[in-house]
Structure formats: structure tokens, C-alpha cells
């Protein structure tokens, strides 16, 4: 049985969505960022940075969302990846990893808008800069699937665009891309299992004026 350690709205949603696309049975272990459970020794043994996602599959433990997506596709759903010899392979790998270019901006914005609770801890300059950089980076997304057909790269990117709309106006092509992604039945099933929001409680976190 596959086991997924997950926090609602976090990058582990990528893996949850992929598991729903695949249709393999899995156990979902709902975690929280706020109860120290991700710092417990048993979680650190499977995810040394104390993060999610973490997954156990076939006796292996993985804790990097892009690697998990590729592993799941290779092992269980070859249709969700692009084979090494196909011409679309480069676009597939590029999309899968570009998701973490977006992820870096999203993580910084999450820190400054949400995790750093006191105003004095936040940097308005970083918030404005990261919002601008995220918006620019979104310019490369959509409207079509990154490698010509739906793959796990679109799961990685789709989640990033879904979260990005909380921080910036999403460009039209990326909006159309997200619309296609969110229309997938597996996306809706994953959303239904995501759990109660504890991190992003507002629809939009605008950059501070200035």
C-alpha cells in the first residue's frame, strides 16, 4: 500500500492529485504545519527536512514532489510521463522542474504573508519583488499541456499556478492552463480529499503598496 504524508494546500497536493489520476489504492496521512508532527523523529526519518510530501511506496521512501511524480508515473502510469526517446522529453523535464522555479517564489511569498505573523518581521520589498518575479515566471505557462499531452509535469505546474492565483494576477494563458487542469475529475477528487485549509485562509494576498 502506498502511504502519503500530506498537509492541505501544500505541495503534497501534487502527489495526491497524481494518485487520483493513477487510481492506485493509497493511504493518506493528514498532517499539520502547526503541531510539530513534521519535526517528530519518525517523520524526519522519512523526510529529513521535515516537510511534505513524503511517500512510502514499494519499500522506498521519497520526499521531493517532482521525484515522486516521476517515480509514480514510471512505476504505475507510463501514460503520465514522456519516454526518454520521445522528442517531447525535453519539454516534459523542463516543465516538471520549472514547477519549482514557481515554487521558490510561492514559498517566499508564503513566508512573508503568512508564516511571519508579525508585521515587523516581513519585508515589503521582498513581497513586491517576489510577486513580480512570480508573475513574470507565470508568463511561460499555458495554454497547452507542456509536453503536448497531459503528464505529471502538468500536475506539478498546475498546482503551482493554482497557488499563484492567491498572490498575483495570473496571465491569461496560465489561467486557461489552470482551467483545463482543474477540469480533470482527478483534480476534483484530490481537492475533495485535500483537507481543511490551515495555511491560505484568504483568496488573495496582495503585495504591499509602495
Ligand X SMILES: N[C@@H](CCC(=O)N[C@@H](CS)C(=O)NCC(=O)O)C(=O)O
The 8-class DSSP code of residue 11 comes to: T
Question: Taking the complex as a whole, how short is the minimal distance between the CB of residue 202 and ligand X, in angstroms?
Answer: 17
Q: Which stretch binds ligand X (CB under 6 A): 22-30, 49-57, 167-175, 183-191?
A: 49-57
Q: Identify the residue among 4, 18, 53, 71 touching ligand X (CB under 6 A).
A: 53
Q: Which residues of 25-45 are buried (b: 16+ CB within 10 A; e: fewer)?
A: ebebbebebeeebbeeeebee
Specify which residues 60 forms β-bridges with. 57
Q: Identify the residue among 5, 6, 21, 65 touching ligand X (CB under 6 A).
A: 65
- Nearer CB in complex with ligand X: 69/147: 69
- Nearer CB in complex with ligand X: 11/81: 11
Q: What is the CA radius of gyration of the chain?
A: 17
Q: Would you count residue 11 as binding ligand X (CB under 6 A)?
A: yes
Report how far residue 160's alpha carbon sits from residue 158's, in angstroms, rounded to the nearest whole number: 5
Hey, which residues between 174 and 203 contact ligand X (CB under 6 A)? none
Which helix H or strand E contains 108, and what residues bound it? helix 89-110
Q: Would you count residue 100 as binding ligand X (CB under 6 A)?
A: yes
Amino acid at each position: 500500500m502506498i502511504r502519503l504524508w500530506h498537509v492541505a494546500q501544500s505541495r503534497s497536493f501534487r502527489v495526491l492529485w497524481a494518485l487520483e489520476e493513477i487510481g492506485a489504492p493509497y493511504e493518506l496521512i493528514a498532517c499539520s504545519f502547526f503541531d510539530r508532527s513534521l519535526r517528530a523523529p519518525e517523520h524526519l526519518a522519512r523526510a529529513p527536512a521535515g516537510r511534505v510530501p513524503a511517500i512510502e511506496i514499494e519499500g522506498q521512501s521519497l520526499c521531493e514532489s517532482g521525484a515522486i511524480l516521476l517515480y509514480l508515473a514510471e512505476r504505475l502510469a507510463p501514460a503520465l510521463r514522456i519516454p526518454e526517446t520521445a522528442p517531447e522529453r525535453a519539454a516534459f523535464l523542463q516543465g516538471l522542474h520549472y514547477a519549482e522555479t514557481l515554487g521558490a517564489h510561492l514559498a517566499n511569498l508564503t513566508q512573508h504573508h503568512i508564516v511571519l505573523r508579525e508585521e515587523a518581521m516581513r519585508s515589503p520589498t521582498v513581497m513586491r519583488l517576489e510577486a513580480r518575479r512570480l508573475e513574470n515566471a507565470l508568463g511561460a505557462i499555458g495554454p497547452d499541456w507542456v509536453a503536448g499531452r497531459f503528464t505529471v509535469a502538468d500536475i506539478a505546474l498546475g498546482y503551482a499556478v493554482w497557488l499563484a492565483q492567491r498572490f498575483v494576477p495570473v496571465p491569461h494563458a496560465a489561467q486557461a492552463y489552470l482551467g483545463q487542469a482543474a477540469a480533470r475529475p482527478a483534480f476534483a477528487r484530490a481537492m475533495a480529499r485535500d483537507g481543511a485549509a490551515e495555511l491560505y485562509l484568504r483568496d488573495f494576498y496582495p503585495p504591499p503598496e509602495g
